Amino acid sequence: MDQQSLFGASDAPAPEPPKAAADGPTTKLVAATDGSCLRNPGPGGWCWYVNDDCWSVGGEEETTNNRMELLAVLSLLEAVPVGRPVHIMADSSYVIDACTKWRHGWKKKNWRTSSGEPVKNRDLMERLDSLMDTHAPTFEWVRGHQGHPENEAADVRARTVATSIQSGLDDWDPGPGLTC
């Protein structure tokens, strides 16, 4: 939807949008992220969701719920232009803590936990580490499955992907992507 149909027609020329710090708009993007795994491990799906016109999904045949939760955040940050502020609503305290607290210590210890074990999902965490430094998103924990509209929308889409994969299908709608 273009700006004119979104805000209504106007005879006045549209004002110049503010310049972003880098490539993207300066308006804060607020998105919910969620992951779904039908068995753990098993078929799974992830989703980031802003609104019905701005969302994306994906999945893996053999995965874990934590991996899908991480991929939702990773995919969102990869889609957002550098310089655009991002606020992420997630129902996974694991993802929030991994991205905001634990990654610094893991990185210092060559991607090992405090007990010396290798960090699970290291491939995703290394990519997230770089994106976290580039984007500096803020996080908000939301209670899952309790009526939070954006979280519920992300959950339904992630579960749809997981169910499709479980059924041997790859016919899910990948979503419109970052259109907002």
Catalytic pick among 60, 69, 129, 152: 69
**What pLDDT, on a 0 to 100 scale, did the predictor assign at position 108?**
96
Residue 44 is predicted with a pLDDT of 97
Cα–Cα distance measured from residue 44 to residue 58, given in angstroms and rounded to the nearest whole number: 9
CATH number for the region 25-94+137-166 comes to: 3.30.420.10
Residue 97 appears among annotated catalytic residues: no
DSSP 48-82: EEEETTEEEEEEEEEE-HHHHHHHHHHHHHHHSPT
pLDDT tens digit at each of 180 positions of the chain = 332 222 222 333 333 333 334 445 679 999 999 999 998 899 999 999 999 999 999 999 999 999 999 999 999 999 999 999 999 999 999 999 999 999 999 999 999 999 999 999 999 999 999 999 999 999 999 988 787 999 999 999 999 999 999 999 988 899 999 999
The verdict on whether 35 is a catalytic residue reads: yes
Q: For position 122, what pLDDT does the model report?
A: 97
Amino acid (one-letter) located at 132: M
For the question of residue 69 being annotated catalytic, the response is yes
Pull the structure tokens for residue 108: 């210092």
CB neighbour burial string for 37-49, b if at least 16 within 10 angstroms, e if fewer: bbeeebbbbbbbb
Residues 92 and 44 sit within 8 Å (Cβ to Cβ) = no
Tell me whether residue 11 is one of the annotated catalytic residues: no
Question: Taking the model in full, what pTM does it have?
Answer: 0.84
All structural domains of the chain with their residue ranges: 25-94+137-166
Kindly name the residue from 34, 129, 150, 152 that is annotated as catalytic: 34
**145 in active site:** yes
Q: Which of 61, 62, 140, 145 is catalytic?
A: 145
Task: Copy the structure tokens of residue 132.
Answer: 């976290």
- 117 among known catalytic residues: no
Closest by Cα among 106, 38, 49, 41 to 75 = 49
Spot the catalytic one: 58, 59, 60, 91: 91
User: Which residues face 60 on adjacent strands?
Assistant: 44
How long a stretch of residues is the chain? 180
